[in-house]
Amino acid sequence: MPTARHLAGHAVSAIGLGCMNLSHAYGTPPPFEEAERLLLRALDLGVTHFDTAALYGFGANEELVGKVLSPHRQQIFLASKCGMQGVNGTRVIDGRAATIKATCEDSLRRLRTDHIDLYTLHRWDKSLPIEESVGALADLVRDGKIGAIGLSEVSAATLRRAHAVHPIAALQSEYSLWTRNPELGALQACRELGVAFVAFSPMGRGFLAGKLRDPSTLNAKDIRATMPRFAPERYTRNLALLDQVQAFTQASGYSLAQLALAWLLTRGDNVLPIPGTTQIAHLEENISAQHIKPDAALLLQIEGVLAPLSIQGGRYNTASQAEVDTEEFA
């Protein structure tokens, strides 16, 4: 399996690194020294695509990535996001042109760079036409501050509207064996428009690794504690499906994590998973998935057990679901 794919005109590692976990969302982040070791190990393993955001740690993640990776800037493809950030300790969605441009200046400073290769609108601010926010991002491209524009968690229809204003290089949305929503239209639109698809949470927020058995043990600050499919009764049913998968994959010699990522890499040459982790052992396991060649029939069998309508619970709670624009299964 090729270990390079194309993103915004650059050849990048087929599997990138989502840096969020190092500063945000899943409980207490690791100390700087541990995060630094993980980022540098990713470089050693050939990872070139690093994804962060203004939101993560309310700027702390960009600071981390900038401090550790700026000496290696010429080796990496640097992606960040705007349109959703922390304001006075509160998460705010704001897609106004002035906010996007100010956020970009802050991101450039924190990342210690003069340009960001891919700058993604983290959430569409639905109080504004998508065209307005994309127009602001197009100004940043013309100014040389960003190389290309991405969108996150939008539908195929919104992607097409945005692409008519300025070429969109990448659509980033959740995609994994237990979140197949992009197959309802977004993936097809990406193929038609020549847009890369960046798959975040490709490990199902840890579910597909098979290690999280009891979601009641999650830290109170862990965002999964608010997600319907991690509610104990639903999660128990989802685990039963995963146990079925584990029963017939043990003989393959591959881990569930490797198979989940290998499956994503078969979904199209324009699909680029960005798993995140705080553990070097997990990082090494994830990156190794681009080198394995599991039997196609095995992947099809896994896909069948984890069929979309078999998964219990939605991706987000009601408030968070209202903020996204993705196609959803009934």
- Domains contained in the chain, number: 1
Nearest CA among 215, 290, 218 for reference residue 254: 290
Give the model confidence (pLDDT) of 61-110 as tens digits. 999 999 999 999 999 999 999 999 999 989 999 999 999 999 999 999 99
State the pLDDT confidence band at 2, using cuts at 50, 70 and 90: low
Instruction: List the one residue out of 210, 182, 204 whose CA is nearest residue 267.
Output: 182
Of the candidates 26, 56, 119, 254, the residue annotated as catalytic is: 56
Work out the average pLDDT over 118-125: 98
Mean pLDDT of 207-228: 93
Total residues belonging to the chain: 330
**Across 130-155, average pLDDT:** 98
> How far apart (Å, rounded) are the C-alpha atoms in residues 84 and 9?
26
Residue 321 lies in a domain: no
pLDDT at residue number 185: 98
Q: Can you give the CATH number for the domain in which 109 is found?
A: 3.20.20.100
Q: What letter would DSSP give residue 247? A: H
Question: Could you tell me the pLDDT band of residue 330, with boundaries at 50, 70 and 90?
Answer: confident
| Domain annotation covers residue 312 | no
In a domain, residue 260? The reply is: no
Active-site annotation holds for 56: yes
Is residue 173 assigned to a domain?
yes
pLDDT digits (tens, 9 = 90+) for 269-304: 999 999 999 999 999 999 999 999 999 999 999 999
Tens-digit pLDDT profile for residues 12-63:
999 999 999 999 999 899 999 999 999 999 999 999 999 999 999 999 999 9
Tell if the pTM clears 0.85, that is, is over it.
yes
User: Residues 172-180: what's their mean pLDDT?
Assistant: 98
Q: Is residue 110 part of a domain?
A: yes
Instruction: State the burial class of residue 143 (Cβ atoms within 10 Å of its Cβ: 0-12, 13-18, 19+).
Output: exposed
Task: Judge whether 317 lies within some domain.
Answer: no
Backbone angles phi, psi at 90, to 5 degrees: -125, 140
Has residue 1 got a pLDDT over 70? no
Has residue 195 been placed in a domain? yes
- Give the mean pLDDT of 133-143: 98
Q: In whole angstroms, give the CA distance from residue 209 to residue 205.
A: 9
Q: Which domain holds residue 12?
A: 4-204+268-292
CA atoms within 13 A on the CB side of 88: 0
103: in domain: yes
